[in-house]
Structure 1
Amino acid sequence: MPTRSVLHQEFALADSINIRALAAKVLAPLLRQHGSLSTHLPDALEHCPPQDRALLQQLCYGTMRELFRLQALTAQLLKKPFKTQDMDLQALLLIGLWQLRSSRIPAHAALNETVEATLVLNKEWAKKVFNAVLRRYQRERDNIEQALAKDPCFTWNHPQWFIDKLSHNWPNQWQAVLEANDQQAPLTLRANTRHQSRQSALEQLAAAGIPADPCRFSTTGLTLQQAMDVNAIPGFSAGRLSVQDEAAQLAAQLVAAQPGERILDACAAPGGKLCHLLETTPGLQDVVAVELEPARAQRITDNLQRLGLELECRVLTADASSREWWDGHAYDRILIDAPCSGTGVIRRHPDIKWLRRGDEIAALAQVQLNILTNLWSMLKPGGRLVYATCSIFSQENERIIERFLQQQQDARHHTIDAEWGEARPVGRQLFPEIGGHDGFYYAVLNKTALNETTDNTIV
């Protein structure tokens, strides 16, 4: 009989593993601003019994999604906050409150398992505290939450800086954006048109009892009516389908690559937009993907290999704001998926609300402008550059493009004629929609030939 894993032993109580204690260990470093769900959760899932993995994900994502409300509740319920060395208890209490407040887990099971998790964490002294706090919340929930109703962070479940910045940027949309951020994002797929049409994919899914709907704006997108394990989706492992949000799928349409062209995809990880470009445009002369982080560059390679596209692209681990990796040959099309705050994809990464800080936006904006300026010199006259972010803040989006246009006399903004998003003075902004696409920004720039006008007016 195989030996149980160290993690399984550490979080076991009697003959079963305590998933609440394991979830608390995942979230505790996040509360200290260390790492993210994407860095801490995979290892825990690997050592978690298969039948409990869905619950572990639910506890971690659900708690982080409701974090600001839950933090406000713990401040009301605890006489004294937990010490720094007891951040695992803080995480566990948040998990317990989330179960009682927002999950379908029976209250008695949620309460008992959460209280017992204090023993697994070797903090038996906290058992009585947890039992009293969670039962008090059960008894006095309405009164406690009513007392917090005037706190914007509780009402809108976002940090104050985020609420202030968003309402300033988008006075007519900010409330809808905050509401959408707190919803679970749908599972949207991209049909690989090298192997099948979207209609064919929809029919095959329907035959397998998996209802899905075509996306409204992406010609290759389809959204499942109910999320499921992607490995159980017919055609996924064979590369006929990929997971990609509808907003992200619009990049390939905007790049509009043509056979025989040289293409650069900068900041390309995890490679969804790159793979979409390759799927829709066979016969490209040369395709280069640049990614700064080696681990993220490996994810690009993994995705290319799953789709059988690894021979059609070169993946470089390099800095897109540098010229050291460039071979000196200009590109016909450049896609910049710029590093950003990720504030348009909070539904998929709810820890962004907690981990991101308002004072980081200005630094990100400078990085974005540096990358854009550097790569512009690698674009052929007459070429096209598509600038994209998954941000909803104009400081990272239209303001970057406006600054760039003022600096580059050979850059011309090209109006995006589309039904999706909201037209801006430059580019188009998409907001996260409940049941629909994520928040995204796109701008298209054309490089004028030497004998053309350098007027930057919209055409």
Structure 2
Amino acid sequence: MKQSQNNKSNSKSAFKHKSTSIYQLHHRPHLRADAAWVLFQILEHGKSSREVMPKVFDRHEGKDNAWLQEMVFGCLRELPKLQYWLRQLLSKPLKGEQKIVEHLIMLGFYQLVFTRTSEHAAVSETVEACAALDQHRLKGLVNANLRSFQREALSEQEINVPHIQVGLPKWLHKQLLQHYPEQVHDIAEQINARPPLWLRVNALKGSSINYSSQLDAQGIEFEAAETDEIPLSFLKVKTENAIKLIKRTDITMLPGFAEGLFSVQDLAAQLAAELLDVQPNDDVLDCCAAPGGKTAHILESQPLLGSLDAIDNDGQRLERIDENMQRLGHDIEFGDRLNLYVVDAESEEALTRVLKDKQYDRILLDAPCSATGVIRRHPDIRWLRKATDIDTTVALQKRILAQIWQRVKPGGILLYATCSILKQENEYQIAEFLATQADASLLPMHENDTAECPGLQILPGQAQMDGFYYARLLKSC
């Protein structure tokens, strides 16, 4: 597996820049104070949970970290209700450094309504967190708001605001009403649900039958497909290596993690390698490849491929592909046939500098997107995305698709994928591309897959999968 020195230096500089941009914790360790700090960073400073959660995890252990994640993710799922209740009780918004106390109060609401935490602990421990946050003077305010919340039974009062009722930002609720008017409530319910944990057995190191026996031996409950197929609306795709765990667990403690016997990958993402259908000796490009789950699956599904080049514009994320390939053993198994490059996929100059004039039999374009299909897995996404972001993302997808299409060999296939459920990023994007690109045609995946309504849209929760979109494009000879 090759990775240029230039790419490695880019990766280090990216890491240095990112690490210095994260706000540091200055207060003493305290579970509720730390949870409020994470919410404050996400909602007030636009940080992602993946940036800030590790900061608080380093201060606690085991069950405490599980509690922290449950509280933070729970508050993010129920945020519209929590904010609505806060506005009913707080006479005026807090400002500056005191703003974090608003998030602490909402954390108290969440404990009182959505958890089994005793009322006494939910109130007293949340009030005590003020001291940990150096907000001693606001302890009375926090106590008064939580007591009023209980006394007035606000959680039992009906909220007649549609987007608050379903727990979504107003802009996203409006989008779903436009695209899926009959399914909005079902989609919102799935978005707010706890996602299942899917594994994909590494086919180069064993079978799902053998790995299932290891799970059985350790008393780990799971479900596996009883047949070799998972039915979708009009499509059947092989998923014989997919296993769903019944209970969430520490992945690193599962049998065979260090040995690379499996990867964590949602079932919807596992469809990519099957739909790409790589043949022996094919040259493959995996575009926007990090963190490498689909890269690994492509290799495992067709070990006789000619080559696989994986590209991403983020050096730090590319290092994650490298780490995954090493754990799975693919770096040794595929050697020089597997190459990782840091490159901007929308830049013709950058692509030419790295890939020269190489074209590919199969290309997976896992395009940058709003990630609205995986909100249930990353609840902060719904609050980090803004309505204005969508047009920018659609324009970026269009530029990347135009550049990467030039890399498809005549007769080759490009599989376009997103983890979005918005039609602008998916169906409309591909329909426009087909209408304007003379050498592109649709390679249908099901009977309703047409140039006017192209692709396969998976909605959150369908067959227990994340929201995902696929479209296959064939280049004329």
Taking structure 2 as the reference length, what is the TM-score of the superposition? Answer: 0.87
In the TM superposition, residue 321 of structure 1 has moved relative to its aligned partner by 1.0
Any conservation in 2 of the 1:31–1:87 contact (CA below 8 Å)? Answer: no
Match of 2:80 in 1: 68
Matched residue of 1:344: which SS?
helix
Matched, 1:118 2:147: no
Q: 2:442–2:451: 8 Å Cα contact kept in structure 1?
A: no
Corresponding residue for 2:9?
Answer: none
The answer for the alignment partner of 1:235 in structure 2 is 256
Q: Which residue of structure 1 lines up, in the alignment, with residue 168 of structure 2?
A: 158
Which letter maps to 1:89? V
Q: Within 5 Å, which residues of 2 pair with 1:427-438?
A: 427-433=455-461, 436-438=464-466
Could you tell me how far 1:110 is from its partner in structure 2? 2.0
What displacement does 1:146 show? Answer: 5.0
Q: Return closer, same or farther for 1:198/1:424 CA change in 2, 3 Å cut-off.
A: farther
Q: Are residues 1:306 and 2:327 paired?
A: yes
- Where do residues 197-208 of structure 1 align in structure 2 (5 Å cutoff)? 197-208=207-218
Residue of structure 2 in register with 1:225 after alignment: 246
Summarize the Cα distance change of 1:412–1:422 in structure 2 as closer, same or farther, 3 Å threshold. closer
State how 1:48-447 maps to structure 2 within 5 Å.
48-141=60-153, 144-145=154-155, 147-215=157-225, 217=230, 218-311=239-332, 312=334, 313-323=338-348, 324=350, 325-417=354-446, 425-433=453-461, 436-447=464-475
Q: Is the 8 A contact 1:269 1:297 kept in 2?
A: yes
Distance in 2 between residues matched to 1:334 and 1:434, nearest whole Å: 26
Q: Match for 1:400: what amino acid?
A: Q
Which residue of structure 2 aligns with residue 29 of structure 1?
41
Letter in 2 for 1:437: M
Q: Say if 2:363 and 2:413, in contact at 8 Å, map to a contact too.
A: yes
CA distance in 2, matches of 1:294, 1:428: 31
Work out whether residues 187 and 223 of structure 1, in 8 Å CA contact, stay in contact via their aligned partners in 2.
Answer: yes
Query: Given that residues 10 and 120 in structure 1 are in contact (C-alpha distance below 8 angstroms), is that contact kept between their aligned partners in structure 2?
Result: no
CA distance in 2, matches of 1:105, 1:193: 44
- In 2, the alpha carbon distance for the partners of 1:50 and 1:302 equals 25
Q: Which amino acid aligns with 2:473?
A: L
Q: Which structure is higher in RCO with an 8 Å CA cutoff and minimum separation 6?
A: 2
Q: CA deviation at 1:21?
A: 0.6
Q: Distance in 2 between matches of 1:180 and 1:445?
A: 30
Runs of 4+ in 1 over 4 A off after TM superposition: 7-11, 421-424
Per the alignment, residue 7 of structure 2 pairs with none
Q: CA deviation at 1:73?
A: 1.2
Counting matched residue pairs gives: 436
Q: Deviations over 1:379-403 (max 9, x none)?
A: 1011010000000000000111111
Deviations 1:295-324 (A, max 9, x none): 111111111111111253211111111222
Secondary structure at the aligned position of 1:396 is classed as coil
CA gap of 1:32–1:159, structure 2 versus 1, over 3 A, is same
Aligned equivalent of 1:452: none
Q: Which residue number corresponds to residue 456 of structure 1?
A: none
Question: Which residue identity is paired with 1:258?
Answer: Q
The 8 Å contact of residues 422 and 428 in structure 1, kept in 2 or not, is answered as no
Whether contact under 8 Å (1:422, 1:429) holds in the other structure is no
Return 5+ residue gaps in structure 2 as ranges.
Answer: 1-22, 231-238
CA distance in 1, matches of 2:396, 2:442: 21
**Cα distance, 1:277 vs. partner?**
0.7
3-state SS, counterpart of residue 320 of structure 2: helix
1:39 corresponding residue in structure 2: 51
AA matched with 1:117: A
Give 3-state SS (helix, strand or coil) of 1:252's partner: helix
Q: Is the 8 A contact 1:262 1:331 kept in 2?
A: yes
RMSD of aligned Cα (Å): 2.2
Quote how far apart the aligned CAs of 1:219 are. 2.6
C-alpha displacement of 1:51: 4.6
Give unpaired runs (5+ residues) of structure 1: 1-6, 450-459
Q: Deviations over 1:24-70 (max 9, x none)?
A: 12221212142110111112212324452112212211111211111
Q: Is the 1:18–1:113 contact (alpha carbons within 8 Å) kept by the matching residues of 2?
A: no
- Deviation string, structure 1 residues 251-303 (Cα, Å, up to 9, x no partner): 00011111211100001111111111111211222111111111111111111
